[in-house]
Chains A and B, each alone.
Chain A
Amino acid sequence: MDRYDPPVVPRRLLLLPGVLLAARALADAPAPADYWIHQASGNVEICPSMRSCPDDGLLRRDVDTGEIVLVTTCTIDGACFLDECVPAGTYQYGLATPYACVVSGAYWYRTATVEGAPPACTRTFPAPEPAGSVPWSEGEQICPPTYGNHSGMSCGCASGEKVLGMQGLAVAAGLALAARRRASRSGK
């Protein structure tokens, strides 16, 4: 009854196992510790993944002047930071207390180019206070994703080789167990 009959099975269905495998494998990788930035009329919303506003504040560094301010104002739902009436320029936005490294990768900051607030822009919160320094130097990334990272234990994360090695050991143990059982049966 359940005999496989290739001509009857639509070819698309043959792709299903591969699609399911890929979906499972892709879903094994969590979202990176990253920022989503949205701007409108000089107001910038910065939404950090896995953390929420106000946390320990968000730093904004002007790439051209080096000026740093601490943003502590939040959107109504508290999911994002709200930076109001931002002048035109290119800015780095990153959490004052940076992300810890995770297997899916983590970012110190993300860069955004702001078109600038219109002259009529009015604040609903006080302007951000100046801050001393940022915890990052060069490069947005704290650590790259290590899921399938061939270089091994970068950022302290488990490597793909170790995971595949462990799975290979399970297969080897199963085969050894089966061989031993077969040998003991034939010895009787």
Chain B
Amino acid sequence: MAALFPGRRLRLAIVSAVATSATHLLMHLALPQLVPAAWWLLAGEAMALAVEATAYALAGRDLARALVASGLANAASFAAGWLLLG
């Protein structure tokens, strides 16, 4: 995030922490009630990707960087889980 938004590090760090916490809670508390278990993971990760990219785009005023940041951050997080649990 710092590398992609060098001029707005603090603002993006705060937005990132809030957005990640919000999508995390949504994924675990709300989504299981709304989506069949078979699609929970894909739907949840898609929701997290979209919500976080939107938040970064609004805070950083740059959609392209926001998409890259959200995609990379979520992929890194997911890949870490894959390595640890897979």
Q: Mark A147-179, 1 if CB is under 8 A from B, else 0.
A: 111100001111010111011111101110110
Give every chain B residue within 8 A of A101 (Cβ-Cβ): 37-38
Complex Cα spacing A1 to B28, Å: 38
Contact of B65 among A2, A28, A157, A178 (CB under 8 A): A178
Q: What residue of chain A has the Cβ atom nearest to residue B28's Cβ?
A: A30
Q: Mark A7-22, 1 if CB is under 8 A from B, else 0.
A: 0000000000010011
Q: Which residues of B line the A interface, CB within 8 A?
A: 9, 20, 24, 27-28, 32, 37-46, 49, 53, 63-72, 74-86
Complex Cα spacing A164 to B49, Å: 11
B contact patch SS: helix
* CB-based contact A146/B41 at 8 Å: yes
Q: How large is the interface on A (under 10, 10 to 19, 20 to 34, 35 or more residues)?
A: 35 or more
- Name 22 interchain pairs, CB-CB below 8 A, sorted by A: A2-B9, A24-B24, A25-B84, A26-B81, A28-B41, A146-B41, A147-B86, A148-B86, A157-B37, A157-B38, A157-B39, A160-B86, A163-B78, A166-B42, A167-B45, A169-B71, A170-B49, A170-B74, A173-B67, A174-B65, A174-B71, A177-B67
Contact of A164 among B20, B28, B65, B79 (CB under 8 A): B79
Give every chain A residue within 8 A of B37 (Cβ-Cβ): 100-103, 157
* CB-based contact B75/A171 at 8 Å: yes
Q: Is A183 an interface residue (CB 8 A)?
A: no
